[in-house]
Every structure is written in structure tokens, then in C-alpha cells.
Structure 1
């Protein structure tokens, strides 16, 4: 039960972020599954979709067909509203006992989707340990198949179908979403993906197309009443708009607003009724591209905002459209100081103007302003409708996104290293945008100079380090490999920035359990610094420190000590309280522990704890790491009574720092389980080890060295206790 060289679960993984989708203790992770019925407006009911809804509803009366029903179509075509209407009609069926159950799961992002499905599993009666296990999906669908009541499961906005795979494969019927045998259930997914090969035989595809002209006319009249013209005029405008629900809503909303403006205050140049709106489309949309069915209403609405005093509305939409399709942290990428430096048209913009413009765009349905609680990033964001993005960015390839990121990287909160917990909310919001910039750099990207391409790879590398801090080692590796390729192309293999990326990639490989590949990269990086005769550069010392860590944890303490001793000596006498030097001193203490020099290791740990507490405080991750290794040492010395409270406090601190499913937290929980077992508290030890194994398998995979070690510990403790894992 002792880890390599006598050290229990003491690996420094350099991971600092709670992992999305990893379940906190208790049921605190659960999310709401209620459909957003507040979006159903009785004054403006769904129009033109009765046939499709009837196609789905009889399946409930006839006890269903067990397949997944997919509502697919382009952005803004009303897929979500159809699913919501279906849910509303099912809910309105009175007199049924038991009442039908309706669950609504957001499918846009992995964290929300997995939390939703696991919440559903919990509601279906799965125990907490079962909910976080690899078999959660199988057990959930077994419960749904046996349900004795009508039920409807909606997965909304599933644009990344890989999320639906979960532990298996969607097309094979083994994913989170799959066919069922319940005669009383219905599964509906809304998505833009409607190709049969993407779904296989598990799904029935329902194309969501245009709204018929008569129904489109009624949509317009629902907004305007009789204030904007006749039904026939509304029908004519509906046809001109192509029956696109988003375009209809935009036009109706604008005309209703104009109609509500006192006549003396109206601008005669603005469309005020169905006919003038149609005429404006005919005269202003003649040169539009294939999006002309909706680009006309968009242009008219933007012009209306400009005439109403929102001079930056069009420019802001164009600017946002250059960013990737992800929530945009507007307090970072759209901050006035960032915008004014990156985009000349915003030279005079201030925060008030920006906020009012965003709110005006939201009122017309072009963007959604997401506050902190909506997406759990801690950074407020704005979400640009995908269809509006397509329209606004047509023909724009000017490197605006690169310029925005270049300025954002200078902000104080962005300059905090992504391994630091204070930076996590910032990088959770920025990461999708930073990673997307790699497509602009290197061959085939935009025509950028070396400085602009360097911004792209710098941002992407920071985002990859954030992924590494979260425990997403595989994704971090992929992104760092891309960064390394571009840096090598731009700067050469021996440039210090290229070598530093090589070092970061080596760390990702090591955390994936690929020790040989990691060692080779560490050595290449170290040799590059030696050849440059710059062995004492801070980056060079960091590489050598990490190489020493790998050698120690790989069972080569003498080689490790040689490197670590040289690093510590390079810091000199002024490094006694330097945090980098202290990290190396800490690792040397682990070398002593691994050799069995326990008294010497204990003296070092106690000295380091005192220094760290004075420099950075009790709650800092570096102080907690030393306490983790101190608790491990007490275990190795057989002092379980002293090790227990120390380890319990470390576990509490790490849960607060990283969350319950982070690899560092799991390492501490593993150690605590061994201490409990040594104290003959077998039931607690087995329960804790089972949780550690399951969480590690979920995050890192069953074949990862950590997962294998935890599984082995559970098997050994369980066997000794006379029970299975």
C-alpha cells in the first residue's frame, strides 16, 4: 500500500482546478431539470408546428417506439420552442395518475449536460456512488425502461454530439442518450445535426424547416396586432422573410416597438408597417449573400439601433462575430480599454455605452447577456446567436480576435498564471477563445505577422495550461502539441519560448502516465538550455526541477538528487525564502523520505511548513502540499494517530482548493483511506477507496497509473477485510 519509494500518494501533479462534471460531496452538484416554461408566451404561442408536434404526441398515446426523436435544423428555426411546446402539452394532460415526468437537460456544454444526466440518474433512484460510476448511464436507462408512468426527456441544443456518447457511443445505442424499451417514454433531442450517419439507427430525424406563410403572418400579428397592416400584408412579409422564426420575431419586435412610439417622435425613414418593412428588405438586401432570408431583418434592426443612438451596435456585432462560438467574457474581451486599443472604431467607447448597447442588442434578441450564475464561470458573458454570428461575420477576416486577445492578455486578472486558483474563473471563460486562435497562426491561417502569430500561440498555451490544471491531461497534450508545432515553425526548435512549450508538453505527458516520452522531452529541453549556456535561467531551472521530480518518482533518487541539488545551488544564499527554491527544497525532502531517511525528511517538512505559513499562509496550495507529504511521512513512520488529523485537515483544504474530484484531492483521500485501514476502521477505508477509484476512473480513465494504483489499493484492502471492491 506504499507508493513508489515509500511515499504515499505524494506526487506533485501541478493541478489546481476543480474539474467540471466531477461530483462534489452530497448532492450539491445537482442541477434543475425543469423545462423553461417561462419562455412560453401565451400572447405569442408557437405557430406553424402543429403537424410536427402531432407526429410526436401520438407516440405517447401508442406507447412510443423507443427511438430517439431528433429535431434538427438551422439556428433560429425554433427547435427549442417545439420541444418546449411538446413538454407543455404533455404537462397539461390532467387526470393522469401518476403524473407524467418531464426532464429538460441542457446539451450545449459538457459540464451542464453531464450534471443534468447524473441529476436525472439520482432522481431515478441511483445511489451517490452509482451516479459517479462508469455504469451510471446503463443503470439510468434500466430505471427509465422500468418506469410505470409517462415520461419525456429533452436534451436541448446538443450541437456537439460527442457529448451524447458518454461512456459508450451514440450511434451504437450505448451512450448517455440511447434507445429505450419503455412503452411510456419519449426522448427528444434538439440540434443542428441532421445527417443519418451521425445518429445511426437509434434516431428518428425530424427536419425543422420554414414556418408556412399563413402561420408566419400570425407570428407577426401576435407582436403588432392591427397596428402594422393587414393579414395579407403580414403574409407577404412572412414570405419575404423566408418563414424563418428568428427573422419573424425580429421583424415583429421592431414593428411593435415603432408602433408603440408616439407619432410625433417617429423617424419617417424607419419601417413602420409590414409593407414598408418589406420594401426596406427589397431595397437594402439586394446584395446580400446566401443568408439573405435573414440578413435583411438583421440590417434593418441594426440600423434602427444606430438611429436610436446606439452607434456602436453594428460594430460590436461584427467584432463579436470574429470570436469563436462560445460565451464571450465581455468584461475581458470587450472591456473598453481592450476594445479601444484593438479596434479603432471603438476609440471613444466607454463602459456605460458598451453596456447599454449590449442591453439593446439583447432586447432585439440578437444576444443573450449571461450573468455569473448562468454559466458558472464567475465571469459575466454575452452569447451571440449563432445565426447572427454567421450574418455579421460574412466577409470579415481581419484578425480582430487576435487584436482583442493581445490586449486582454495585458489585463491584471489575465496575467495571473492559469495554475493559480485566482485565475480559474478568468481562464474558464477565456480558454475557448484562446484555443481557437491557433487556427489563425501558422500555415493556412490569416495573413498575420510573427508578432500576431505569437499572440495566438501564447494565448493557446496559457489555455492549455489551464486545461492541465483542471486535470484534462489528454486535451492539454493535444493543444500543447499544436502550440509546439507552430512555435517551432515560427521561432525555431531552440528558441526559449519553444523550449518552454516543450517543457509544458512534457509535464502533460507525465501526468498522462507516459513517463518515457516525458523524460525524453524534459531532457531535450534541458539540453537546449545547456547548449545555449543559460543553465541558470529561471525556465532552465524549472525544467531541471521537473526532470528531477520525474527521476525521483521513477525510482532513480540519486539522479534526481544530482539535478535538484544543482537547482538549489543555483538559487544561492538569496534563495532561502524564494518560492521556486523552496519548491526544490521540498522535493529534496521527498527524496530523503523515499530513501527511508525519515527523520531528516521530517525536519525538512516541519521547517518548510513554518516558512510557507509565514510567506503565503495556511490555505495556500504550497503549504497544503507540504502538509500532505508530512502526513504521508507520519504514515510511513507508523504514527497513525498523528497522521490521521493531519491528513483529514489536508483533505478538507484540498477539497476547498481543487474540488472533490481533482487528482490532488484524490491522492489525499487515498492516503486517508490507508490510514483509516491501519487504524482498523475498515468500512470507512473501503468506502473512501471505492469513491477515489471511481472518481479517478471517471476523470483519468481506468488505465491511468493513478486509477490502477487506487484500484489495487481497494482490492487489497477489500480482500483483507473479506469483501469485494
Structure 2
């Protein structure tokens, strides 16, 4: 949004504040100066995707094949389970996961691969589980190193053999685009997907998972509700439900939890409407489609909700319809503990409503590092289709307000919050479901703020994906010229810049700038934000005069429109300190009676992000002017502050330390400069690798200091 703040630093200690999102520039490559390491990594040691079946029926031959694969020392294998939604692919994967983790003596690693952001986050959590450091994870999240390479490097070096499950990989392009799917000498990969085309799985062993045979389907239902009928009656219901495991699980959950007025299987069967399921089975199991599975599932959840209402829990229906506005990914429970829930459901009844859904097997609790509720995608799609229009609109409005309450109005730099990352697929799901303009508008506003929040943790890839996807989904409803659509594209442009994709960033920023100038005028805060955003890639593309003109336009416009003490105005002035040429730098530094860092501290407070950035930029400006004595103390204090806030491995800490070392060397304390730079080199080599440009730059600077030290006399004199 237009009140965001950005900041960055280069390898010479050059740092600047644009709109509160920090990053590093070195050698025309970008890293992170976001204020967080990977502070909240999700759990990958337990499966998600619903509760495990009581007993996994049928699948005997498939399970024997997969058990043998994980029981042996054979690695370098990929197995793909494919089939329609609700057919039990995840249940098979859970059974294999459990076997591998116990009898197979392997580490089980489970990743939800439903979308790009969830996949990458889960895979980086795998890297963390296999020993990746916070610095390495931070570098991967902000594009300083290839995320997939880090993950597979750690998997290949794992001390223990492993089984990696990639669940819900229904968009195989996400796996291919990031090179996420590989083989390893230390483990086995198991994928579940609806996509069976061999072109997606060229090196994998494919296994189809379909509906169950009649006897096995009947046994599933009987396992769940043995007191409610006979095996023959269970078989009849199984036929009516297409022998689809998900539908059978929902039916069994219903039958096993009726206490006040227990149902028999015969009674349940009499309430199943229509004959289409039988017709589908008559045509053969392979004829059953995802739309057919939704139809089968709809019969089960409708009966379950009717029973809950009869027992005095009509709120369960309301809650399930609300949850159908979101996606099938884990949904943080904190989202449902908000006053905004009162719009459709008394908050005091939320616990009871959720308990009813859990008892009926309509949803399940999962813990991925944050306690969540998760509902099968086929069930959600079926509920969404079956919700009357008026109720669907009301549910969508509440869903948007709950997300709005869960995302900060002005995201601040800070540690990664896993709860925020978990909201990304649900914001996009709501945007795809919603048709009401007001709902789409509110959801897009949330998406923009969430992209800013992700950006400020240094997760630039996730920020770019969310912002660009949200804009593309909302544009057909709101129009290409809507302010929020343009804001979303502007956020995508900033993320592209952080990822070093300067040409793409400049083109996107330029397009947004032209639209904002035309629609809102040159002094609109969003237009001023675009002037600054467009200037960033121009400097990196060596179009310095053009970039400087835009940056000055932004700084002067903000001072005129927002006032001289607004954080964005002060941030733009700090940014100018790093961008003006040396011939103009003295005038910029000496243009006010009060130095910029002191002015920022007075107006914003000494701990404000803009103040810290201004102190570092100002110290570097003094360094560039040769005023080393004036710069040294601020440079030292800034290094200490970055270390205190973000730790010694944080990229901005290393950039600040590089500046401090340079000033020390200029003042003749070369031995300390060598010591400081040696630490920087060692840290960057460990995090980024020996060949990374940041590492190479730091090593050259270290060599310069060492050469200078070699020419000094023992008393420190040349």
C-alpha cells in the first residue's frame, strides 16, 4: 500500500529506506534485509490432509509395493499415487508414512504441495528439519540462493534415510517450475495427485488409486459404525455412495456419533436421495469424475448437518459454509476466534459448532506448527456448490472480514509469522470463490497487506506470487484500473526488484505508474509510491539520471503532500543519501541544521526502522565524503543494533559490518577491519556458498584489507 516503507543496503554498507521493506544490494544482486530469520518453521514430521482411517482397506498390492520400497535400502525412487479427489490417495500415503517412520526406520517428512507458496514453505521446513541454518533458510526465502537446491542438498546429506511425501500435488507445473521433484541417494519420494499424465512424471512409478471394491467399501463403513447395521447393509450404502472412501468416511462419522436418536444403516440408506451414484458404478469406477465425487459427498454432509441441527447445533452448518469460502489447506484456528465471526455465528457457539463438525468427520484438527483445522477439498467444493446464493454471499463477506482482522493494517518488519503464511492460499481461494464486488475488494485489500507482510519477512517469492496471483484473479471483477488492482501489481513489482529481476520490475512499475498518473494525478500518495518504486530498478539498470529524477520527484511530492516529518518523507530522504552522485552528496548531507538520523529519532523515535536506516545511510554518506571520524561511532552502533535485533547472520548486519570495517581500515585500524571482514566472508560462504557474488565481493574486500595490513609497520603506521 502507499504507506509502506522500504530499505536496503549494499556491500559497501550502502543502505537506504524507501517504504519499509528492507533488502540488500550488492554487485547488482539482491538479498534480504528483512528483520527476520525463519522464526516459525512449520512441522513436517506429521501428516496433514485429514485423519487416518481406522484400517486401510483393500490397496493390498499397492501397500505391499510401497512398504517394500521404504523397507529396503533402495533409494533414488519416486512413486506417484494418482486418482480423483476423495478416492483415498492421502490415506494410502499416510499408511506408508507411518510404516516408514516406525518399521521402515526412516524419517518421515510430509509437505502439502497444493500451491507454490505452500510447497516452497514446506520444502524449506524440510531443509530446516535436515539441519539447514536460519541464515541459509533466510537466503533461500529472499532469492539469494536457489530454494530447491538448498533443500535437496540437505536431503542428500541427511544422516538418516527418509521418506518425503508431497501431498495434493494437483498442479505438477509447480513442482517442475521450481525443480522441486528430484531423486536422492538418501531417500524416497511419494507424490499424491489428481494428474495422471505421464509427461508430468517422467521418472516415476505411477499407481492409480480408484474407488474401493464392494466388500472393502462395506468394511470401511462397518469399521466406523459397527453397531448400526450388518455388512450387507453397509455394502448397499457403499454402492449408493459410489464406494468413494471420502463419502464412506463421512457416512461412518455420521452414524457413529448419533447419540440422542441413533440411526441404523437402513435408516441412513433410505435418506440417500437419487440414483446417480448407482448409475456411475454401473458404468465402472473409472467413469467416476471429480464432479461425480462431489455429488456423492454432498449426500453425506447434508445428512450430517441435518442431524446436527436436529440435535440443537445449527451453527455447524453456518461454520462449514463459512469454511467453504476458504481453501483445503490448513486454516489457523485463531482466524475463527475473532469478533467478526458474530456476523454469521455467535462467537460463543463457535467451539460447539466446530466440535460438531469434528465429531461428524466433516473436518479435522492438524498441527503444522500452528493449530489448524483442515477440510477435504472435495467436501468444501460440494458445500460451496450447495450453499444458497444469499447465504454464500453473507459467508463470503464474513470470511473476508475474518482475514482482514488476521492481517496487520500496517505490516511491520519482524520475524516470520507462520500464521500469516498459512493465510495466503485462503485469501486466493476467497478471491476465486467470491462474485460480490465488495467481497472481492476487501479480499484484495487483505491480499495486498499480506503480500507486504510476507515481503517484510524477506519472503519475496511468496510476496510476488501472492500479489501477482491476487491481481490476476481480482482484475476481471474490479477492472484493470481499480486502485487495489494497481496496488497489487505494484507490490509484485517491488518483489521482482528484490529478486533481482530488474527488467521485469521496471516494466511492471512503469505500467502501474502511467496508470496511476492518469487516474489519480501526480501528487496522489500511490503515484508518489510508484515514482520511488520505478526508480529502484532504473538505478540497477544503469539509468541513474532517470532513476534519480523519479526518486527526487517522490521525495519532494511526499514532503508537499504528506509533510516533512512523515515516515515516508523521511525514508525517501534517507534513500536519496545512497543514490545521489558524490558531487552532490555534501550538499545533501549538509542541507539541514539537524542531521537526518537525529531528525528521524526526534520525529519517529530512536528505535524506528526508518531511524536505523537513516543512521546507516548517513554513516555511509560520511564515509563516502571521507569524514571517517564523524562516521565511525554511528556505524559501530548500527552494527550492534542490527545484531541485537536480527542476529549476526542477518544480511543487513553483515552489510553494516562491512561498512564499519571499511571505516576502521580508513582510520588505520586495519587488523580489526581484517577480523571483521573475515567474519563476514565466513558467514556468507556458509550461507550463500563460496561462488556467490556477495561472498566474492566480501572476499575481495578482505584481500584489500589484508594487503593494507601487510604494508603497515608494527606500530600501525604505513
With the shorter chain as reference, the TM-score category is 0.7 to 0.9
**1:660 Cα offset (Å):** 6.3
Q: 1:105-164: per-residue Cα shift (whole Å, max 9, x none)?
A: 3234235422343135439x99979996644355446546xx8x8654444444454554
2:570 is aligned to: 582
> Is 2:410 the counterpart of 1:417?
yes
**Pair 1:620–1:90, CA change in 2 (3 A):** same
Cα separation, 1, equivalents of 2:548 and 2:71: 74
Which residue of 698, 708, 711 maps to 1:714? 698
1:625 is aligned to: 613
Cα separation, 2, equivalents of 1:619 and 1:274: 66
Q: Secondary structure at the match of 1:210?
A: coil
TM-score (norm 2): 0.73
CA contact (8 A) 1:6 1:595 kept: no
Name whichever of 292-301 and 601-610 sits farther off: 601-610
Cα separation, 2, equivalents of 1:503 and 1:90: 46
**1:203 Cα offset (Å):** 0.8
CA contact (8 A) 2:535 2:551 kept: yes
What are the within-5 Å matches in structure 2 for residues 229-378 of structure 1? 229-258=229-258, 261=259, 266-267=260-261, 272-282=263-273, 290-291=292-293, 292-328=295-331, 335=338, 337=340, 340=343, 346=344, 349-369=345-365, 374=368, 376=370
What are the within-5 Å matches in structure 2 for residues 207-606 of structure 1? 207-225=208-226, 227-258=227-258, 261=259, 266-267=260-261, 272-282=263-273, 290-291=292-293, 292-328=295-331, 335=338, 337=340, 340=343, 346=344, 349-369=345-365, 374=368, 376=370, 382-394=373-385, 398=389, 400=393, 403-404=397-398, 407=401, 414=407, 416-418=409-411, 428-436=421-429, 439=432, 446=435, 454-455=441-442, 457-466=444-453, 468-471=455-458, 507-508=494-495, 510-511=497-498, 513=500, 535-544=522-531, 555-556=544-545, 559=549, 563=553, 566-567=556-557, 570=560, 575-590=563-578, 594-595=582-583, 597-598=585-586, 601=589
**Pair 1:326–1:30, CA change in 2 (3 A):** closer
Name whichever of 151-160 and 544-553 sits farther off: 544-553
CA contact (8 A) 2:135 2:649 kept: no
**Pair 1:716–1:369, CA change in 2 (3 A):** same
**1:358 Cα offset (Å):** 1.8
1:197 is aligned to: 199
Cα separation, 2, equivalents of 1:100 and 1:567: 64
CA contact (8 A) 1:669 1:692 kept: no
1:102 is aligned to: 107
Q: Secondary structure at the match of 1:624?
A: helix
**1:68 Cα offset (Å):** 0.7
Name whichever of 296-305 and 101-110 sits farther off: 101-110
2:601 is aligned to: 613
Q: Secondary structure at the match of 1:247?
A: helix
More relative contact order, 1 or 2 (CA 8 Å, 6+ apart): 2
**Pair 1:491–1:240, CA change in 2 (3 A):** closer
Cα separation, 2, equivalents of 1:127 and 1:527: 39
Which residue of 41, 63, 71 maps to 2:81? 71
Which residue of 119, 124, 133 maps to 2:128? 119
Q: 1:187-207: per-residue Cα shift (whole Å, max 9, x none)?
A: 32333433322211x211122
CA contact (8 A) 1:217 1:238 kept: yes
CA contact (8 A) 1:34 1:103 kept: yes
**Pair 1:429–1:589, CA change in 2 (3 A):** same
**Pair 1:668–1:213, CA change in 2 (3 A):** farther
Q: Secondary structure at the match of 1:394?
A: helix
1:688 is aligned to: 680
After superposition, the CA RMSD in angstroms is: 5.3
**Pair 1:693–1:151, CA change in 2 (3 A):** closer
CA contact (8 A) 2:451 2:491 kept: no
Q: 1:341-361: per-residue Cα shift (whole Å, max 9, x none)?
A: xxxxx3xx3101233212211
**1:256 Cα offset (Å):** 2.5
CA contact (8 A) 2:106 2:161 kept: yes
Q: 1:156-186: per-residue Cα shift (whole Å, max 9, x none)?
A: 444454554586x3xxxxx4x423457xx54
Cα separation, 1, equivalents of 2:151 and 2:15: 33
Cα separation, 2, equivalents of 1:80 and 1:22: 39
Q: Secondary structure at the match of 1:393?
A: helix
Q: 1:673-715: per-residue Cα shift (whole Å, max 9, x none)?
A: 76688655546535534655886899xxx9xxxx75x255135
2:60 is aligned to: 50
CA contact (8 A) 1:359 1:369 kept: no
TM-score (norm 1): 0.72
Cα separation, 1, equivalents of 2:245 and 2:229: 19
Task: Provide structure 2 residue ranges, at least 5 long, that are not aligned to the other structure.
Answer: 1-7, 24-29, 281-290, 708-718
CA contact (8 A) 1:634 1:643 kept: no
Count of equivalent residues: 658
CA contact (8 A) 1:507 1:518 kept: yes
Q: 1:414-433: per-residue Cα shift (whole Å, max 9, x none)?
A: 57134666997785455434
Cα separation, 2, equivalents of 1:186 and 1:355: 40
> Is 2:182 the counterpart of 1:178?
yes
Cα separation, 2, equivalents of 1:545 and 1:623: 19
**1:624 Cα offset (Å):** 1.9
CA contact (8 A) 1:424 1:466 kept: no
Q: 1:48-70: per-residue Cα shift (whole Å, max 9, x none)?
A: 23322112233456753742112
CA contact (8 A) 1:220 1:234 kept: yes
**1:670 Cα offset (Å):** 5.7
Cα separation, 2, equivalents of 1:278 and 1:150: 47
1:136 is aligned to: 150
Cα separation, 2, equivalents of 1:522 and 1:619: 31
**Pair 1:91–1:317, CA change in 2 (3 A):** closer
CA contact (8 A) 2:57 2:217 kept: yes
Cα separation, 2, equivalents of 1:90 and 1:492: 51
Cα separation, 2, equivalents of 1:528 and 1:76: 46
CA contact (8 A) 2:229 2:265 kept: yes
CA contact (8 A) 2:330 2:374 kept: yes
Q: 1:649-681: per-residue Cα shift (whole Å, max 9, x none)?
A: 24236527xx966x7667546646766886555
**1:305 Cα offset (Å):** 0.9
Cα separation, 1, equivalents of 2:420 and 2:662: 35
**1:536 Cα offset (Å):** 4.4
